[in-house]
């Protein structure tokens, strides 16, 4: 009988412990964490994994490649959304890549550069004026029925602030190399640039051209730690969302090659257009991947 009572008591204590534990999960400890049902600390304290050490003598082959990632492609849309005002509100704790870079660059978390060699730094105040600018337009005069001017044309100043939804492309610069220690092809992204459409009114028509605003160093641990603490949307499970750092390390994105190291130092669009440029981009990728397999003899 004593054994039966002991067993029942142990069962009740176990149930009570599970109930208390469940209550602790449902009621987050953080008093400001009112929108979640448990305290989220893993993503906010995450640090990027440092790259493994690499000696110059271990690199037996290397080439530099430039790519473009277009957020309008369905697979890449987690870079772009949430956009606009949703970057601050109703975002489920997420932030799009363009606004993440802009906000941390404005706070001085890392340096920004003018060139993809990452040698010419840009003062943030100067870049802020380029990203948040005032445009002046001249309105046409107003005439009455007799052709007399009743309202002279005047200048109208429109202030255009930084808008994340205007940035739907990024450029990345990466180095592909073969490590002789394991004879494998590897890659490191060293730079990332924000790109937007710079639109101007030319003879009454709007012309837009892609404009590279600035580059950030992807080898900088300050940048990587910021990316590591920020998750992007996962359509299958919110609890396994990848951080931006994991996305770039695992190459979880669609992209196309725009340039590879060449004697003319030119991009593909400088000598090919349309479908020919797309085929050339694919040919470059295939040629790079064939180098690794061609090293082996059977």
Q: What is the pLDDT of residues 156-165, one digit of tens each?
A: 656 678 888 8
Is 98 within a domain?
Answer: yes
Shared domain for 134 and 244, answered yes or no, is yes
Residue 193 phi, psi dihedral angles, 5° rounding: -130, 140
Shared domain for 123 and 32, answered yes or no, is no
Tell the burial category of 124 from Cβ atoms under 10 Å away from its Cβ (0-12, 13-18, 19+): middle
On average, the pLDDT of the chain sits at 83
Q: How many domains does the chain have?
A: 2
Q: What pLDDT, on the 0 to 100 scale, is given for residue 90?
A: 60
pLDDT band of residue 7 (cuts 50, 70, 90) is: low
Residue 174: other Cβ atoms inside 10 A: 20
Query: Picking from 148-162, 166-180, 199-213, 283-297, which range would have the lowest pLDDT averaged per residue?
Result: 148-162
Shared domain for 136 and 230, answered yes or no, is yes
Query: Picking from 72-81, 175-184, 231-240, 270-279, which range would have the lowest pLDDT averaged per residue?
Result: 231-240
Shared domain for 87 and 234, answered yes or no, is yes
Token output for 199: 């639109």
Largest Cα–Cα distance in the chain? 112
- For the chain, how far is it from start to end, CA to CA, in angstroms? 75
Q: What pLDDT, on the 0 to 100 scale, is given for residue 153?
A: 64
Q: What percent of the chain has pLDDT over 70?
A: 76
- Position 66 pLDDT exceeds 90: yes
Shared domain for 249 and 201, answered yes or no, is yes
Is 156 within a domain?
Answer: yes
Element (H, E) at 138: strand 133-138
Token output for 52: 């493994």
Is 131 within a domain?
Answer: yes
Query: Picking from 23-37, 69-83, 231-245, which range would have the lowest pLDDT averaged per residue?
Result: 23-37
Q: What is the CA radius of gyration of the chain?
A: 27
Is 23 within a domain?
Answer: yes
**Mean pLDDT of the 173-189 span:** 94
SS3 160: strand
Shared domain for 144 and 190, answered yes or no, is yes
Tell the burial category of 203 from Cβ atoms under 10 Å away from its Cβ (0-12, 13-18, 19+): exposed
Q: What pLDDT, on the 0 to 100 scale, is given for residue 18?
A: 46
- Position 102 pLDDT exceeds 80: yes
Alpha-helix residue ranges (DSSP H) falling in the chain: 2-26, 42-45, 77-80, 97-106, 124-131, 221-228, 244-250, 274-294
Query: Picking from 51-65, 125-139, 216-230, which range would have the lowest pLDDT averaged per residue?
Result: 125-139
Shared domain for 11 and 75, answered yes or no, is no
Shared domain for 171 and 277, answered yes or no, is yes
User: Domain range spanning residue 149?
Assistant: 56-294
* 129 vs 91, more confident: 129
Shared domain for 139 and 215, answered yes or no, is yes
pLDDT band of residue 154 (cuts 50, 70, 90) is: low
Whole-angstrom distance, CA of residue 65 vs CA of residue 288: 10
Whole-angstrom distance, CA of residue 231 vs CA of residue 63: 30
Whole-angstrom distance, CA of residue 260 vs CA of residue 267: 7
Give residues with Cβ within 8 angstroms of 127, minimum separation 6.
105, 112, 213, 214
Residue with tokens 């941390």: 104
Shared domain for 26 and 86, answered yes or no, is no
Query: Picking from 45-49, 86-90, 248-252, 294-298, which range would have the lowest pLDDT averaged per residue?
Result: 86-90
pLDDT band of residue 26 (cuts 50, 70, 90) is: very low
Q: What pLDDT, on the 0 to 100 scale, is given for residue 233?
A: 87
């Amino acid at each position: 009988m004593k054994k039966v009572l002991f067993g029942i008591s142990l069962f009740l204590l176990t149930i009570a412990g599970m109930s208390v534990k469940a209550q602790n999960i449902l009621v987050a400890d953080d008093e400001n964490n009112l929108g979640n049902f448990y305290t989220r600390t893993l993503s906010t304290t995450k640090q990027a994994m440092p790259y493994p050490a690499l000696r110059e003598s271990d690199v037996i082959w290397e080439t530099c490649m430039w790519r473009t990632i277009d957020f309008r492609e369905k697979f890449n849309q987690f870079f772009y959304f949430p956009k606009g005002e949703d970057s601050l509100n109703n975002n489920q704790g997420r932030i799009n890549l363009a606004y993440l870079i802009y906000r941390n660059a404005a706070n001085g978390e890392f340096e920004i550069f003018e060139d993809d060699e990452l040698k010419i730094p840009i003062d943030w105040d100067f870049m802020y004026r380029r990203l948040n600018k005032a445009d002046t337009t001249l309105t046409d005069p107003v005439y009455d029925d007799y052709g007399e001017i009743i309202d002279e044309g005047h200048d109208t100043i429109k202030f255009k602030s930084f808008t994340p939804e205007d940035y739907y492309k990024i450029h990345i610069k990466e180095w592909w190399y073969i490590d002789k220690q394991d004879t494998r092809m590897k890659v490191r992204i060293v730079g990332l640039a924000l790109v937007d459409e710079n639109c101007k009114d030319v003879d009454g028509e709007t012309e837009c051209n892609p404009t590279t605003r600035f580059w950030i160093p992807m080898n900088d641990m300050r940048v990587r730690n910021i990316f590591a603490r920020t998750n992007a949307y996962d359509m299958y499970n919110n609890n396994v969302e990848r951080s931006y750092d994991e996305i770039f390390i695992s190459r979880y994105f669609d992209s196309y090659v725009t340039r590879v190291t060449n004697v003319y130092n030119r991009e593909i669009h400088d000598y090919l257009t349309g479908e020919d440029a797309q085929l050339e981009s694919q040919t470059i990728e295939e040629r790079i991947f064939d180098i690794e397999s061609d090293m082996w003899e059977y």
